[in-house]
């Protein structure tokens, strides 16, 4: 699914108006009626609905929602926040049709103290062009400080939030639900706005499909339809050689569990054969807990330079996953350098392997093209430096993926996957229950398994990120976000794979 900028959304509205064709006011009515329907499906008509409207088209939506709910016997109060002298035509038209008397607000102390019902925020939408400050910021603080039990529903965008750039410094409404139109907005996907958008509800408003199809954007959402199209069912005449041989280089004394989780996830993702390369202390643990994996050990407790010779001697590995629990010992760093100099196929690089690379940045140039890097935000910062906000971090992510011809998956609620062509995909699965030790090791295993069996890097990373999150969602559903552990994600992979065929 495409993510459009504020300018593109405006163009989509205009294209729909011109080509459906439909009048602007009728398109607004359609948007408002989608919101009113959602509200009536979720809140009883005994609730008073307090609707705060600005004077742009977002406010126009609010006025139309007020009328539609009033017609459905809701008790409705409308407050017009005088954000500007100018009102848009569609706002004015809807004000004329409003069956009740609105109350005007020019100062923060004029916000009524609301003790029951629900609040609808239709003050500012995608037309926001500067940070919210002054008395309007005071109005927002009043609304945000209403009692916890009063849900705040923002229409299209929480007022005060920019959708294409950072608005960290802007005062913003903190919504429990954001009822947004048709497409995700970039700002919804970045952690700086997590507390502002609450739960995102996308409501279709019939924007012209032709426009959505032909408009290009560097930002996309990875959804179920996309991964179903990427998934390849297994061939009926397959043997274990058909699905590749992966090498997983992982573990150090005290962190063999990371290697075990990664190995199990790799096997459960369909790899044909798996060899693990571990420090000697991990031998019994791996052979006992993952008997399906072959095991080669390094005589030391940290992995050393020896692992490069191993790859040199045995060229049969279709891919290598390296990093989980590896440690950053100097001999391991040397081994990684030798490995990168020799191994030229796409590989998966995670955790301590990334930390080693950030200590020796010259290694970045040695990473085989189309490899997949999976940093969390701190690892990303260590690798590529700090940025002043998350939109800048996203630009840096794209820039580095292009520069080094890599797929870089920046972990988070909506993991951002930047590709060598500069396109970014945001994963839509996963939950906070996955913020637990070992989840990343599981992801590395899945990605290594998919790459080894012949998926192209792009497909492997999109499919892998999606099924990792989806298995985490299935685990949380069954066990709760609190009680689930990383190993549970592996246990639910099968359930997700079963749902993939079209």
Ligand X SMILES: NC(=O)C1=CN([C@@H]2O[C@H](COP(=O)(O)OP(=O)(O)OC[C@H]3O[C@@H](n4cnc5c(N)ncnc54)[C@H](O)[C@@H]3O)[C@@H](O)[C@H]2O)[C@@H](O)CC1
Residue numbers in the known binding site are: 57-61, 121, 125-131, 156, 159, 258, 325, 376, 411-415, 440-441
> Which tokens hold the place of 437?
């030790």
Which pairs from 67-72 meet CB under 8 Å and 24+ separation?
67/94, 67/97, 67/98, 67/99, 68/32, 68/33, 68/36, 69/36, 69/39, 69/40, 70/99, 70/100, 71/99, 72/36, 72/40, 72/45
Buried b (16+ CB within 10 A) or exposed e, 347-364: bbbbbbbbbbbbeeeebb
User: From CA 274, how far away is CA 77, in angstroms rounded?
Assistant: 64
Q: Which of 132, 190, 351, 489 binds ligand X (CB under 6 A)?
A: 132
User: Nearest approach, Cβ of 223 to ligand X (angstroms)?
Assistant: 23
Ramachandran class of 438: left when φ > 0, alpha when ψ lies in -120 to 50, beta otherwise: left
Residues 6+ away with beta carbon under 8 Å from 21 = none
HEC profile for 283-307? Answer: HHHHHHHCCCCEEEEECCCCCCCHH
Q: What is the DSSP letter of 235?
A: P
User: Nearest approach, Cβ of 61 to K ion (angstroms)?
Assistant: 8
83 binds, among K ion, ligand X, none (CB under 5 to 8 A by kind): ligand X
When the beta carbons of 207 and 417 are compared against ligand X, the nearer one is 207
Residue at shortest CB range from K ion: 159
Binding mask 8-47 for K ion (x = CB under 5 A): ----------------------------------------
> Which tokens hold the place of 100?
């009740």
> Which tokens hold the place of 495?
């359930």
When the beta carbons of 180 and 262 are compared against ligand X, the nearer one is 180
When the beta carbons of 181 and 407 are compared against ligand X, the nearer one is 181
User: Nearest approach, Cβ of 173 to K ion (angstroms)?
Assistant: 7
Residue 156 contacts ligand X per CB under 6 A: yes
Number of residues that bind ligand X (CB under 6 A): 29
From the list 124-132, 314-322, 423-431, 486-494, the region that binds ligand X by CB under 6 A is 124-132
When the beta carbons of 185 and 268 are compared against ligand X, the nearer one is 185
Report the site for ligand X in 216-255 (rule: CB under 6 A).
none
Residues 6+ away with beta carbon under 8 Å from 314 = none
User: Nearest approach, Cβ of 55 to ligand X (angstroms)?
Assistant: 6
User: From CA 145, how far away is CA 410, in angstroms rounded?
Assistant: 33
Q: Which of 21, 130, 214, 498 binds ligand X (CB under 6 A)?
A: 130
User: Nearest approach, Cβ of 23 to ligand X (angstroms)?
Assistant: 9
User: Nearest approach, Cβ of 181 to ligand X (angstroms)?
Assistant: 6
User: From CA 338, how far away is CA 69, in angstroms rounded?
Assistant: 68
User: Nearest approach, Cβ of 73 to K ion (angstroms)?
Assistant: 25
Report the site for K ion in 124-183 (rule: CB under 5 A).
154-155, 159
User: Nearest approach, Cβ of 9 to ligand X (angstroms)?
Assistant: 7
Using the structure block, give the residue that is written with the tokens 């995102």: 200
User: Nearest approach, Cβ of 190 to ligand X (angstroms)?
Assistant: 18
User: Nearest approach, Cβ of 159 to ligand X (angstroms)?
Assistant: 8
Binding residues for (6S)-NADPHX, by number, are 57-61, 125-131, 156, 258, 325, 376, 441
27 binds, among ligand X, K ion, none (CB under 5 to 8 A by kind): ligand X
Q: Which of 51, 69, 81, 128 binds ligand X (CB under 6 A)?
A: 128
Q: Which of 155, 396, 460, 467 binds ligand X (CB under 6 A)?
A: 155
Q: Is the alpha carbon torsion for 22, 28, 34, 37 positive or negative?
A: negative
Closest CA to 52 of 123, 107, 109, 106: 123
Greatest CA separation for the chain: 82
**What distance lies between CA 367 and its chain's CA centroid?**
25
When the beta carbons of 35 and 474 are compared against K ion, the nearer one is 35
Q: Which of 4, 5, 8, 28 binds ligand X (CB under 6 A)?
A: 28
> How far, CA to CA in Å, does 178 sit from each of 7, 158, 200, 385?
20, 7, 5, 33
Q: Which of 113, 129, 147, 388 binds ligand X (CB under 6 A)?
A: 129
**What distance lies between CA 227 and its chain's CA centroid?**
15
Q: Is the alpha carbon torsion for 500, 473, 354, 283 positive or negative?
A: negative
User: From CA 377, how far away is CA 393, in angstroms rounded?
Assistant: 9
129 binds, among K ion, ligand X, none (CB under 5 to 8 A by kind): ligand X
Residue 319 contacts ligand X per CB under 6 A: no
When the beta carbons of 22 and 500 are compared against ligand X, the nearer one is 22
Residue 153 contacts ligand X per CB under 6 A: no
Strand-pairing partners, residue 120, are 51, 153
Binding region for ligand X (CB under 6 A): 13, 24, 27-28, 31, 54, 56-59, 61, 83-84, 86, 88, 124-132, 136, 155-157, 181
Binding region for K ion (CB under 5 A): 58, 121, 154-155, 159
């Amino acid at each position: 699914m495409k993510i459009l900028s504020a300018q593109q959304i405006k163009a989509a509205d205009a294209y729909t108006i011109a080509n459906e064709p439909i009048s602007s006011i009728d398109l607004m009515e359609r948007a408002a009626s989608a919101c009113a329907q959602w509200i009536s499906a979720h809140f009883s008509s005994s609730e008073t609905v307090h609707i705060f409207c600005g004077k742009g088209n977002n406010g126009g939506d609010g006025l139309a929602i007020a009328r539609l709910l009033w017609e459905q016997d809701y008790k409705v109060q409308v407050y017009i926040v005088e954000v500007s002298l100018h009102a848009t035509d569609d706002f004015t038209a809807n004000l004329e049709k409003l069956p009740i008397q609105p109350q005007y607000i020019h100062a923060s102390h004029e916000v009524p103290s609301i003790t029951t019902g629900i609040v609808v925020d239709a003050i500012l939408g995608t037309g926001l062009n500067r940070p919210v400050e002054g008395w309007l910021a005071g109005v927002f603080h009043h609304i945000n400080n209403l009692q916890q039990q009063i849900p705040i529903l923002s229409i299209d965008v929480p007022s005060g939030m920019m959708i294409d750039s950072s608005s960290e410094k802007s005062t913003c409404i903190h919504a429990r639900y954001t009822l947004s139109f048709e497409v995700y907005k970039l700002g919804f996907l970045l952690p700086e706005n997590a507390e502002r958008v609450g739960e995102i509800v996308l409501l279709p408003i019939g924007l012209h499909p032709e426009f959505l199809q032909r408009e290009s954007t560097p930002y996309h959402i990875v959804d179920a339809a996309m991964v179903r199209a990427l998934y390849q069912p297994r061939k009926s005449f397959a043997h274990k050689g058909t699905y590749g041989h992966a090498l997983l280089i992982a573990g150090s004394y005290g962190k063999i569990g990371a290697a075990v989780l990664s190995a199990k996830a790799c096997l459960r993702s369909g790899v044909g054969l798996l060899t693990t390369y571990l420090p000697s202390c991990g031998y019994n643990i791996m052979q006992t807990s993952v008997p399906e994996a072959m095991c080669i050990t390094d005589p030391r407790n940290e992995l050393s330079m020896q692992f490069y010779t191993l790859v040199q001697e045995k060229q049969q590995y279709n891919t290598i996953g390296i990093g989980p629990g590896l440690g950053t010992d100097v001999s391991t760093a040397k081994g990684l350098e030798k490995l990168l100099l020799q191994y030229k196929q796409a590989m998966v690089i995670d955790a301590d392997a990334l930390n080693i690379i950030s200590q020796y940045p010259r290694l970045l140039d040695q990473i085989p093209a189309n490899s997949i890097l999976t940093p969390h935000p701190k690892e990303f910062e260590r690798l590529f430096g700090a940025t002043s906000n998350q939109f800048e971090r996203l630009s840096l992510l794209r820039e580095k993926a292009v520069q080094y011809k890599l797929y870089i998956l920046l972990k988070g609620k909506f993991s951002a996957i930047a590709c060598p062509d500069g396109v970014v995909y945001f994963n839509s699965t996963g939950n906070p229950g996955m913020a637990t030790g070992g989840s990343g090791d599981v992801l590395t295993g899945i990605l290594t398994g998919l790459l080894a069996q012949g998926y192209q890097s792009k497909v492997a990373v999109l499919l892998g990120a999606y099924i990792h999150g989806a298995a985490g969602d299935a685990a949380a559903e069954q066990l709760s976000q609190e009680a689930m552990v990383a190993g549970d994600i592996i246990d639910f992979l099968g359930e997700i794979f079963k749902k993939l065929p079209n």
